[in-house]
A and B are shown apart, each in its own frame.
Chain A
């Protein structure tokens, strides 16, 4: 079980991926902070519209430009930052606009695209555009070479896979080849495609309305000069993702469903030949390791009641002690059941992924939403195997 800093040795991009609600944003921030504490100049990127990263880094707001997190904030938590921690929140629309401006052959084509209503919709809303722009920004920052490490918190997709699929879907849309051909029903292509296509277009017009089709045609025409540029860039972005200096970390929770998603996502990573680094399981209920080989478990309630009744001169009455002992034992049984479920699920996960790089972060008493919380998480993310076992056993 390596620690995050071992997994990320020699890497300059770390992509945290996983389904929604598993603590990706917090994990990304914690990894970035931990690597900064170890001397790296790190930038963490999020696209989360809910501004969670800003919250947890004590920044009032994040913009499309990287901002440095005040080292004094970490010092106040007793964490010394040897490197630098920067953060930015990706504005997908602004990034898309910049990309169009860069790819457009002239100002007129740029404005035609920016003013097109279809473009305005996709740059904001098209599923996949956020994901694609996240990769685009990552690529841009990587090319600028300002940071030692970039940590990307992937967008909160319903399905982690959306992220991998995004560039393909978006470039396919922008290419719009099949549609552009049919947009000119008198053209050669349409004659080749046959009369059926023309009739199909006519039927379609009746359903969706001519305006929509006209706008789409205008959109593809406006984009036509940039398609090659977009394709070339998408190719470079893809090869950056597949680079051995890039590392995908899969983030998940210990329940059955997030675990299945993680297994599925890992398989897709492998299929796409993308570099998998390890898996981080958040909010794990640790079993009390002390219980192994301990026979006090047999009559826990009785043992608790007698200890509570003893006290050092402050013992409880037998009835009160027995009542409290009953509730403590019941609570413990519930907790153990969850811990056993988590252990089973994680064992299944490790077997499916054939990896020893499974980092468990326990379910902490306080939920994590600030720098102190990140420091607490980093005790687990950056702990050596022995330290983690010690923590799990309640000895640390």
Chain B
């Protein structure tokens, strides 16, 4: 997508905002497993909330990673306020399916009949992609200014902690796939509508989270290519997460290596740890350059957080460093 001058303007003026990404209505945070997608999604949410945007962070399937970051809140299939301007929801496919049917069928007796029938639960469990479809349907519903659910809150921004790579591409492709399976009828037209939402570069974007290692970098490049060409979604950012600080110069490192060789005990251990840190920081910088060469989207780095347990404070620290 060509960069529009208007969206570059705030940057040029030195205003600390994240254009192209947080100005959208819907952002999917994706990447391979274990790269810190949840932390980045929450950090983006905190950041957007701090910028005054009413934001909701969604996690999909029944793993409540995001809620672990906010231990005071019990996040489930309902919108929970975490702090000012920030909400969270865990999108359970079965609940989404129920809600979808409720919105489709106005006659209560019909719904009850359907929910009680075996055929419904069977179809819901077994139809390929239906769970993903209703999940994306719920995300779409959250992103509407005119919410479908009664008394639905209006959000400026919906951030989705998307499934890991491999499943991630499939997840975003579900509406297109489904529009093809169901050739006619309400599901067909709604799937098409969702597909249009995903491909709407003005309102929907993705942020890929990567790690500064050889294979994660390769995978992120592949992921970006597939997101652009196969899914057709805009890729606005690649966040390289967990970058070690450059604490020591090469010359200092040589000195410390010599020191470690002639010492014992804590001095030796500390010197060795410093040499290790230097080596890792250096190899990570090489991976950062590779990543920059291999992806089209702007690459931004996030520092490694030296905290034993990653909690909300970590996300908060990263939120301030996002750009």
Chain A residues packing against B (C-beta within 8 Å): 19-22, 48-50, 52, 55-56, 117-118, 121-122, 125-127, 155-159, 172-173, 176, 178-179, 182, 196-197, 199-201, 203-204, 206-212, 215-216, 253, 255-258, 288, 290-291, 294, 296-297, 300, 303-304, 307-308, 311, 314, 316, 324, 327-332, 334-335, 337-338, 340-341, 365-367, 369, 394
Contact A197 B117, CB 8 Å, known A55-B215, A308-B255? yes
- Contact yes or no, B180 A296, CB < 8 A: no
Counting from the closest, the 6 A-B pairs by CB-CB distance are A21-B34, A20-B33, A209-B185, A288-B269, A200-B117, A21-B33
Which residue in chain B gives the minimum CB-CB distance to A301? B270
Contact A156 B32, CB 8 Å, known A20-B164, A179-B119, A365-B280? yes
Closest chain B CB from A100 CB (angstroms):
16
Contact A211 B63, CB 8 Å, known A178-B122, A179-B126? no
Most A Cβ at <10 Å: residue of B214, B263, B287:
B214
Selected from A125, A158, A338, the residue in CB contact (under 8 A) with B33 is A158
- Contact yes or no, A332 B273, CB < 8 A: yes
Closest chain A CB from B165 CB (angstroms):
7
Contact A121 B181, CB 8 Å, known A158-B63, A328-B256? yes
Most B Cβ at <10 Å: residue of A210, A340, A365:
A365
- Contact yes or no, A212 B187, CB < 8 A: yes
- Contact yes or no, A291 B32, CB < 8 A: no
Most A Cβ at <10 Å: residue of B116, B181, B186:
B181
* Chain B residues with CB below 8 A from A159, complex form: 63
Selected from B118, B252, B264, B279, the residue in CB contact (under 8 A) with A178 is B118
Most B Cβ at <10 Å: residue of A126, A208, A258, A335:
A208
Closest chain A CB from B190 CB (angstroms):
10
B110 at the A/B interface (Cβ < 8 Å)?
A: yes
A296 CA to B265 CA, complexed, in Å: 7
* Chain B residues with CB below 8 A from A340, complex form: 308
B137 at the A/B interface (Cβ < 8 Å)?
A: no
- Can you list 9 A-B pairs with a CB-CB distance of less than 8 A? A19-B33, A50-B222, A55-B214, A125-B170, A156-B32, A208-B127, A290-B264, A334-B306, A366-B283
- Contact yes or no, A204 B185, CB < 8 A: no
Selected from A155, A203, A216, the residue in CB contact (under 8 A) with B113 is A203
- Contact yes or no, B129 A121, CB < 8 A: yes
Known: A155-B166, A365-B280. 8 other contacts (CB 8 A): A21-B164, A50-B219, A55-B214, A203-B110, A204-B120, A290-B269, A328-B274, A337-B308
